[in-house]
Structure 1
């Protein structure tokens, strides 16, 4: 073992030789990295390492390395790079002796690498061995050892369609190993430690439902049922917005099980093991608590999450904040029905006009409302009123007014319907709910304006953080002229401002201030969850008003007044 890497000798080779492509392509002999030459020569080696032991034609190598812009004499260039690789990989070989490691066959060039000398094959074998182990704790350790072989993005530094496809395939292998590792850790009872890591993996692999499934299950086993349900809502919103589909059956079944508190979702007890009495935890420093402070959660091992205090939010606080924000959100998403409500004076005039005009205005008013509401039914009613009024006018304008005929009765009835029935109908169709109003009396127009201002402030903070700092974005406690729509900056807002947020209080505000002071500023609002400062549910429902403005590197003038 050298530098954490196994050294394996190739059959027939004196010195040990091994290859790596789980990161920057490299070759090692006796713990010393070899100089593989120029970038194109390194790319030729990578093509051969992706199909170890199998010949690759010269045309395929040219297409993989150069893509749509091959050199004029591709076969000669490939031959030149192969000769350079032979000098590096087989330095003791005589120029007239056929190569044993990099050979030329009728089908092309082949690199004869034993499985134990190539990191991708070692990685696959370790993953298979770990998946065959029944002990979850041991399987997790073996999978983490295999994942430690990755030194960064696979085939780093190599570009092109061929390498992109190969990189995606290798990344899919890594994602599968990560999911299997998290599954094994969850099975061994490490759900509290896994939550921050699974949050990161869901963000890194949003299309893999497996990570979302494990996150929901881990949250549920931590006693954070509301957060598990919120994670499902996030998954459903993501797949619906991006692809117009619902989550898969496995995720939906887990959601139903969490709603029902299905006992089968609890951690299964180990067979033939008597339950042991847990030892009392060692004394540890805890920040000052309010009378009903949240319960501390066990912190995970180093490297799995950012440092920071670990706390679980009280369910009552989370539910209260969700109800408050949900009420405000409902005003955004459910506008009042168009044209359903008319002010009192206007509605009285609409009802009186048919009587004042002897039914002439009835059809026009109904037609106007039908056009506003795009209602075909009201449009047919307007046409009926028009036909009735025309019938009355035709009868009244023909014949002798001093003589009574049989059609005078229907004509009078038509007049009654348009002049008396019309106001009744208009009174019914103009009745409706008043426009929705925010909890604090703020109408929808002002809410929309606030949201637009928030988005503008977020864009300014993203592209020009120094200007955002000087304008005081996220600092309602400072005098300023720039309206950011009510944003709160978690990196600079004082404790009393953070404590005023719905669902938070002095306790959680102190945690935020302590975390940003002791461990540096937050890079995003999601860091509140990743650092385990606030539970996922609370961050999710406050996301609309929170912002993390990057700090200034140099001293900056105070906010603009």
Structure 2
């Protein structure tokens, strides 16, 4: 009686192998190994001869496929059951009416052992022992020796390899998640970088790498990992990262406390009362400092006037208003009495200080005015252009600048022709005399008129012609643009409503489309810094366009008071759902 064969162990998590007592067996030629691999993919179940032929040879089967399979099965029996006599039926590799069956004892196939260990580890994790689960998963992952079924080609082996690699990646991902739960983010970063390289299409590893980097205090590298993922997916497949990855990027930009490690969150919950007291003391001191300013603002309220919904756009200054005033945020501290302070709730109110009593228009003394008017006569008109240029620069007048250029041209004609002709009489004498008279007498009269009227600097600060009228006109243009955006969005898009970054001729009053404008223009709005501008763009890319201006608050992008202050500047162009009738 032959002795019982030693237990065998088959391995497919890497190159196909069979071992007896730790010694690897010679499985014969490549096709014979492929036949064994087909039987190992469905252990303890019969596989028909036709299925083996189709799996091993594919579209180029041998003429006598059944005989060839029988030959390779006989070779495998000699290797796997060396003590079996030729006339004794096989016990390990048997033949039934349904086909060949490879009887693999429990624990005899590494793929099955791997699956069982992973299931046991996940059960331990579910029971609350994360550290033990991580160790069990690591032991299971150590069973892999390379690419599953390495060296075996064909659709059947490719499908099996893809299934096994998916289980491999899922186990690695579960192990990394447990490591993050245990606060081992620093040690996980190198492993996750390797896993991203090994499984580039699996976004779960990129997610865990970003989270681990962020928990290590490497926020910039976490965002760089997102950019790498986005560039890879766009270049390879023309798609954006998944919602989970985009949401993580937004949370990192926000420095969301929920991203902290569980141990850190537990530490923060340990002494909430102490932190509340620590925060309360500065808050009380801030309230005490703010109280005098609020009382001062209340006393100054009767002396102020309110201009409702007329905030100038920070991207387009109002004519006549200094740039610093046009760009002033709509929520200046209340301690600055007279500055813009938004009303709590309701429409945005821009309170401007009451204008001081207008000074009486001042004119130059009459001796100075007379001297200035005489200079063109005394200089034969050669300095007229210089005097007019001074007034043009002082008043910022384009018309005076053109007049100065005309005076200069006439003076140049007079001096040029006079130096060439000398005492000779020519037809040039007529334009020369006309230029001389215009620069002398015309310049004298012009200067007398300019010096007789007060300059714009003498106008009162609250003159409606310098501030109120442009603001009213701007508000009307904004209302017209908003109405156009609501009723004819396609026309509004063609005209560039809310897009100051595009060349356009339509004046929309300085509106900004929060769903379309780039990041740098959002950062230029009053009260917004580059961080909030980047956050607005990141959230609209990750979660889709904003449905309304208030959506900036509901999504946690901006504080409510900032949105209220910008309510009249921001606009949303709705999608064009029906053809425009115009």
TM-score range normalised by the length of the shorter chain? 0.3 to 0.5
Q: Which is higher, the Rg of structure 1 or of structure 2?
A: 2
TM-score by length of 2: 0.44
